[in-house]
Amino acid sequence: MDIIWHGYSCFTLKTKQCTAVFDPYNEDVGLKLPKIKADLVMVSHDHEGHNAVNKVGGEAKLIDWPGEYEVKGLAINAYQVPYTEEGTAKKPGKGLMFVVHADDLKVCFLGDMGTQPEDALLEQIGDIDILIVPVGGNHVMDAKAAHLTIEEIEPRAVIPMHYATEGVTMKIDGIEPFLKVMGAANLTPKDKISVESRSSLKEDAMEIILLNPQTA
């Protein structure tokens, strides 16, 4: 499995059978997607920074509703979750988090969650190998909330997302507060990660993986 970050909350996940895209954005976020073709697009919520399905080429199946799905060897569970803004009483509605099973791996994409998942949901999703978590604050989890969520889920690897990089126009934090609260330093960002199976992930310690945004 290859995982590529396109900045903000957009990722491409590739297996031998399937190419899937999470949360494609439009230019309003300050970035431009490269040309992408996919078999599957997963949209966490109906917002311009996450639902630009027209930016993805190919005849992709769209998943934007809770349920269980299977697409070209990927088994997907889409869970409806509240998207409560972190640190406020506002409740803008519901969104989705996704758990994808493929290549002997479980990948969890938290979307735009602003609060920690409830215990009942954590029991449902079970053990997670790779957790993709927002860390930039404002209307999503900030560094501290992301840290607490990671401690609850205990994944084998963590990929932070939804934080400020060059070009992003949204008022969100950069990666530094998250790295500080996680006690991580001297991490070298990668253009992508390739994971053959669960056994190829570290067993003795959780790994934080930084990715360089692959944009146009």
User: Domains of the chain: which residue ranges?
Assistant: 2-208
Task: Report how far apart the first and last C-alpha atoms of the chain are (Å, whole number).
Answer: 22
In the chain, the percentage of residues whose pLDDT exceeds 70 is 95
CATH of 2-208, one of 3.30.390.50, 3.60.15.10, 3.40.50.300, 2.30.29.30: 3.60.15.10
Mean pLDDT to the nearest integer, 116-144: 93
Residue 86 has pLDDT above 50, yes or no: no
Residue 186 — pLDDT band, cuts 50, 70, 90?
confident
Q: How far apart are CA 52 and CA 23, in angstroms?
A: 7
Residue 26 — pLDDT band, cuts 50, 70, 90?
very high
The predicted structure's pLDDT at residue 92: 58
Do the Cβ atoms of 10 and 165 come closer than 8 Å? no
- Cβ neighbors of 108 (< 8 A, separation 6 or more) are 97, 98, 99, 100, 125, 128, 130, 131, 132, 153, 155
Q: How far apart are CA 158 and CA 151, in angstroms?
A: 11
Q: How far apart are CA 109 and CA 182, in angstroms?
A: 19
Strand partners, 32: none
Q: How far apart are CA 178 and CA 147, in angstroms?
A: 8
The predicted model scores a pTM of 0.94
Q: How far apart are CA 148 and CA 130, in angstroms?
A: 16
